[in-house]
Amino acid sequence: MKLKEIAEISTGYSFRTKIKHHPSGETKVIQMGDVDKYEGILVEKLQTLRDFDPRNDRYFLKAGDVIMISKGYNIDAFVIPENLGRAVTINSFLVMKPDLHRILPEYLAWFLNSKRAQYFFKEMAAGTNVPNLSIKALEALEVVLPSLDEQQRIANLDTLKRREIYLHKEIAAKKEQLIDELLQQQIDKLNSK
């Protein structure tokens, strides 16, 4: 089944000026540096805008929407969490509003991040310097649709996999820091003699 049959696809908001963070702003903006393949949307990094009016409510994200980077070499997809609040993405993202009766957002994100889909995106991306994935190309993606129960199982396994990879990275960073400190202490001891 083609993706366009199970999800509405649009672009993020095209900001005309630089995004200026306002600490008491009510609208969060998701930019390219605010997402991580393993951690998802880095909510604490999001800029906020005050009195933001996109002139069309379609730009506001809802829990369960799936966003995907459309420009560059890392075409990753992320699910909008329940607790995000009022938010929009910049136009370097494509936004999918899945038909929840047919496909789970977490499964859709997993499918979009799968090796097969990523290969398809790399083949379809246009652009000489910076690849760009169009809505038309994304709409053409063939999506395998197992039962909702099976989709949930796949999504749960994917969540565990990403969490494990994230924890391995954290452990490696802590180990590196500990070893560096031990080596520094050793040098300091030798230096004080």
- pLDDT, tens digit, for every residue of 129-141? 777 888 999 999 9
* 128 has pLDDT over 70: no
User: Which pLDDT belongs to residue 154?
Assistant: 97
CATH superfamily ID and name for 3-144: DNA methylase specificity domains (3.90.220.20)
User: Which pLDDT belongs to residue 148?
Assistant: 97
Q: How many CB atoms sit inside 10 A of residue 151's CB?
A: 21
User: Which pLDDT belongs to residue 23?
Assistant: 86
Residue entry with tokens 């859709």: 108
User: Which pLDDT belongs to residue 181?
Assistant: 93
In whole angstroms, give the CA distance from residue 158 to residue 168: 15
pTM score of the predicted model: 0.85
Least confident of 16-20, 80-84, 107-111: 16-20
Q: Which of 26, 20, 34, 113 is nearest to 74 (CA)?
A: 113
* Range ranked top by mean pLDDT from 20-29, 128-137, 139-148: 139-148
3-class DSSP state for residue 9? Answer: strand
| Alpha carbon of residue 116 to chain centroid | 18
User: Which pLDDT belongs to residue 126?
Assistant: 67
